[in-house]
Structure formats: structure tokens, C-alpha cells
Structure 1
Amino acid sequence: MHNFLPIAYFKNQFLPFENANLSIATHALHYGTGAFGGLRGIPNPENPNQILLFRLDRHCQRLSNSARLLNFELPADKIQSIITDFVKKNQPKTSFYIRPFVYTSDLGIAPRLHNIEHDFFVYGLELGDYLSPDGVSCRISSWYRQEDRSLPLRGKISGAYITSSLAKTEAVSCGFDEAILLNSQGKVSEASGMNIFLVRNGELITPGYDQDILEGITRDSVLTIARDLGIKTIERPVDKSELFIADEVFLSGTAAKVTPVKRIETFEFSKHRPVTDKLREAVTAVTENRNETYRDWVNVIEI
């Protein structure tokens, strides 16, 4: 059961969440011609009259880029202004998640992106831990990550998430928490909705952009923080078998934050996770605005 924030942005206005409804004939519903963003917000632990949003500018720019892939010009600064107003109107009192969405809003049929209306909405919900902070078990999915040559993977295109949905349900039905997808070359790509990292001999390794991954904002944050902490980072192709012999594995994402992996298939990992724990603690400190170095990553909104 989700606790949705009371106010949504829909059809160029703010209105009660329950009144923000789409027609069953909406084009994007039938063809997956939408793109979404997702960002977390928390009340400032030091000031209850402030809300902290993590890397709002990057999230808004990525959604603007995704809109362009749908033949829709939606400036990042407009998205940011609407999300800021959205937070002020809702005045959330607990950790929450914001879901902005761009889509083809015409009513009718025929898959296309030209000569069609587009629109944009925002809603939110209370959200604590998306995955267990104690660690998750993962299955190597029988479904493969799409290729950028057949689908624009630089955007969070809604239609692409059928693969994530299939992989996630397959994993859960087999007794696992999460799925890991390989790409068409048989290399490790990402989880159902998160990027993946492994640690070997103290080095942090993650698949690069050429492995059909999403350009994760939390992923970028983890890499930046790791380098600043003196941890060697490597972006390169990763074989499935390399996951099994890694010292540590973790997932990263807006919802997942930094989540350790405790098992992949039948391979168990140690509960001693020095690199994962150090990075998780560092990311948490940044999102709570407790690290001066990354203050520009956090938008402070007065409510």
C-alpha cells in the first residue's frame, strides 16, 4: 500500500492526487512512449522546515534529454521549477520519492512521435528502503538488456521497462530479491532498475556506458565519491563469472541507494564489506547535506 503525496502536477496545474487521471485511450499507455525520472527527498535532519533533494539539476537534465528522445522539448529549468513548487505544496514530513513523467498524451492509435501531443506530470509517494539495507540475493536473468541500437537507453523510456519487469518477477518467483541482466554480448549490464558495482582487491569496478547501461546519477555519485576517497575506480566490461569471485558486490540507484548484494545464484558473499560500507555511509552523508565537499549536489527547499 503506497502513501501518495496529496498534491500532483497534471495538465499544467497543481491538483489533488486523486483527481490526476488519464484516459484509457492515452497514446503512451499503449505504446510505451513515455519517459520518467525519479529522485528522493528527505526532511533536513537539522531543520524540519527544509527539504533536501539530491542532485535535482542532474535529474531534471536527464529527464529533459529523455523528452528530446520522444520528440518533445521540455527544458530542464522548467522541470526543476515545477518540482520545487511541487515539494513546497506537499510539505512532506518523511522520506519520499518524486516521479516526474513525460509522455505522448494524444488519444488514439498508431505508434509515432510526430504530429502528436505531449505532456508532463509529477507525483510523489512516501518511500523508505526500496531494498533491504542488510543485503539482497540476485539471480542472473534469462532476459537480456536491450541494445542502444534498437532502443535509446540513454533515457528512462517507459516501454523499455518491460524487460526489467520480466526479469524482476522471474527472480522473485525463483526465490531471489533482484535480477542481474546481461547484455547481448553476454557481459554484465545492470540490475532490473539499478546499476551494479563489484570490488576486487580493493578496486571498484562497474560496467561502462558501452555495456548498454542506464546513465545512473547515483552511479556517477558513487564513482566521484570513491575517487575522492582514494579508491581506484575502473569502468569496463564485466563477465558473469567475475561477479561470483568478487570480494563485494552492490547495487546503486535513486530508490536502492547503495544496497549490498549478499548472494548471486549459489555464490555467497562475506558480510565484511569495507568498500561498500564506506561508500554507503559517504552517500548517506551527502544526501543528508553533512558533507561540505558536495553541498552543491543538494538542493535545500524551504517549506
Structure 2
Amino acid sequence: MHNFLPFAYFQNQFIPFDDAKISIATHALHYGTAAFGGLRGIPNPENPKQILLFRLDRHCQRLSQSAKFLHYQLPADKIEGILIDFVKKNKPTVPIYIRPLVYSSGLGIAPRLHNIDKDFLVYGLEMGEYLASDGINCRISSWYRQEDRSFPLRGKITAAYITSALAKTEAVESGFDEAILMNSQGKVCEATGMNIFIVRNGQLITPGFEQDILEGITRHSIITIAQELNIPVKERAIDKTELFIADEVFLCGTAAKITPVKRIENYTLPESNPITDQLKEKLTAITLNQDPNYKDWVYPIDID
């Protein structure tokens, strides 16, 4: 049961969440012609009348870029202003997840992007931990990640997430918590809604953009933090067998934050995760606005 925030932004205005309805003939519902973002908002532990948003500017930039794939010009600064007003309108007092969505709102039946109306909406819900913070078990999915030559993987396009849904359900129904997707070249790609990192011999390794991954904002943050902490970082292709012999494996994303992996298929990973723990501690401090070197990554919003 989800606890949705009381107000949504819909058709250029803030209205009660329960009143935000779309037609069953909406184009995006039938053809996946939509793109979304996701941000976490947390109460400032030092000021309960303030909500902290992590990397608001980057999230708005990515959604604006995603909208371009839909032939929709939605400036990042406009998205940012609406999201700020959304938080002020809802006045949350607990951790939340914010979901902005750009979509083809027209009622046509032809699969196209031209000559069809587009729109933008925002809603939110209360959210605690998305995955178990102490670690999860993963399987290698039988489903493969799409290729950039046939799908705009630089955007968070809704149609892409059918693969994630298939992989997630396959994993859970076979006794695992999460799935790891390979790309069409047989290399490690990402999880169902998260990027992936491994640690080998003290080096942090993650698939590069050429491996058909999403340009994750949390992923970029971790790479930046690791470099500051003098942890060597390498972006390269990862073979499946490297997962089984890695010293550490973790997933990362806005919802998942940093989630360690305890087991992959029938291979149990080491219980000690020193680099994962170090990065997780640092990222948590940053999101709580407690690290003076990363104040520009956190956007505080006064709600009173």
C-alpha cells in the first residue's frame, strides 16, 4: 500500500492526487511514449521544516534530455521550478520519492511522436528503504538489456522498463531479490533499475556508457566520491565470471541508494565490504547536507 502525497502537478496546475486522471486512450499508455525521473526528498535532520533534494539540477537536466527523444521541449529550469513548488505544496515530514513524468497525452492510436500533444506531471509518495540495506541476493537474468542502436538508452523512456519488469519478476519468483542484466554482447550491464559496481583488488569497476547502461546520477556521484577518497575507479566492460569472484558488488540508484550484494546465483560473496561501506557512509552524509564539500549537490527547500 502506497502513501501518496496529497497533491500532484497535472495539466499545468496543482490538484489533489486523487483528481489527477488520464484517459484510457492516452497515447503513452499504449506505446510507452513517456519518460520519467525520480528524486528522493528527505527531512533535514537539523531542520525538520526543510526538505533536502539530492542533485536536483542533474535530475532536471536528464529529464529534459529524455523529453527530447519524445520530440518535447521541456527546459530543465522549468522542471526544477515545478518540483520545488511541488515539495512546498505537499509539505512532507517523512522521506519521499518524487516521480516527474513527461508523456504523449494525445489520444491518437498511431505509434508516432509528431503531431501529438505532450504533457508533464509530477506526483510523489512516502518511501523508506527500496531494497534491504544489509544486502540482497541476485540472479543473472535470462532477459537482455536493449541496445542503444535500437532504443534511446540515454533517456529514462518508460517503454524500456518492460525488460526490467520481466527480469525483476523472474528473479523474485525464482527466489532472489533482484536481477542483473547482461547486454547484447554478453557483458554485465545493470540491474532492473540500478547501476552496478564491483570491487577487485582495491579497484572500483563499473560498466562504461558504451555498455548500454543508463547514465545514472547516483553512479556519477559514486565515481566522483571514490576519486576524492583516492579509490581507483575504472569504467570498462565486465564479464559475468567477474561477478562471482569479486571482492565486493553493490547496486546503486536513487531508490536503492547503495545496496550491497551478498550472493549472485549460487556464489556467495565476501561478508566484508569495506569500500562499499566507505562509499555508503560518505554518500549518506552528503545527502543529509553534512559534508561541506558537496553543499552544491543538495537543494534545501523550506516547507513552512
- TM-score using structure 2 length: 0.99
Within 1, Cα distance between the matches of 2:227 and 2:48? Answer: 32
Amino acid at match of 1:179: A
CA distance in 2, matches of 1:22, 1:177: 33
The whole-number CA distance in structure 2 between the counterparts of 1:96 and 1:49 is 14
Give me the identity figure in percent.
Answer: 72
User: What CA distance in whole angstroms lies between the structure 1 residues aligned with 2:282 and 2:69?
Assistant: 34
Corresponding position of 1:244 = 244
Secondary structure of the equivalent of 1:223?
helix
Question: What is the distance in 2 between the residues matched to 1:91 and 1:287?
Answer: 19
- Counterpart amino acid of residue 28 in structure 2: A
2:131 paired residue number: 131
RMSD across aligned C-alpha pairs, in angstroms?
0.4
Distance 2:181 2:272 in 1: 25
SS in 2 for 1:198: strand
1:25 is matched with 25
Aligned to 1:256: 256
Say whether residues 1:112 and 2:145 are aligned partners. Answer: no
Matched residue type, 1:135: G
Once residues 135 and 198 of structure 1 are traced to their aligned partners in structure 2, the CA distance between those partners, rounded to angstroms, is 14
Partners of 1:66 and 1:273 lie apart in 2 by 35
CA distance in 1, matches of 2:172, 2:28: 28
Provide the rounded CA distance (Å) in 1 between the counterparts of 2:257 and 2:248: 16
Kept in 1: contact 2:60–2:77 (CA 8 A): yes
* Aligned equivalent of 2:149: 149
Q: Which residue of 2 aligns with 1:98?
A: 98
On the 8 A contact 2:108/2:116 being kept in 1, the answer is no
- Quote how far apart the aligned CAs of 1:271 are: 1.6
SS at match of 2:279: helix
Secondary structure in structure 1 of the residue aligned to 2:35: strand
Partner of 2:190: 190
Question: Following the alignment from structure 1 to structure 2, what is the Cα–Cα distance between the partners of residues 271 and 9?
Answer: 44
The runs of 4+ residues in structure 1 deviating greater than 2 Å are none
Q: Deviations over 1:158-194 (max 9, x none)?
A: 0000000000000001000000000000000000000
Residue 25 of structure 2 aligns to which amino acid in structure 1? A
CA distance in 1: counterparts of 2:71 and 2:53, whole angstroms: 28
For structure 1, which runs of at least 5 residues remain unmatched after alignment? none
Distance in 2 of aligned mates of 1:178 and 1:43: 28
Whole-Å separation in 2 of the counterparts to 1:228 and 1:159: 36
Q: Is 2:39 the counterpart of 1:39? A: yes
Report the equivalent of 1:277: 277
Residue 108 of structure 1: how far off its partner (Å): 2.2
Aligned counterpart, 1:158: 158
One-letter amino acid matched to 1:201: N
What secondary structure, in the 3-state scheme, does the structure 2 residue paired with 1:142 have?
strand
Cα distance in 2 between the residues matched to 1:22 and 1:116? 15
* Gap runs ≥5 in structure 2: none
The residue correspondences of 1:46-85 to structure 2 (distance < 5 A) are: 46-85=46-85
- Matches of 1:187 and 1:295, distance apart in 2: 36
Could you state the TM-score of these two structures normalised by the residue count of structure 1? 1.00
- Paired with 2:135 and 2:6, the residues of 1 have a C-alpha distance of 32
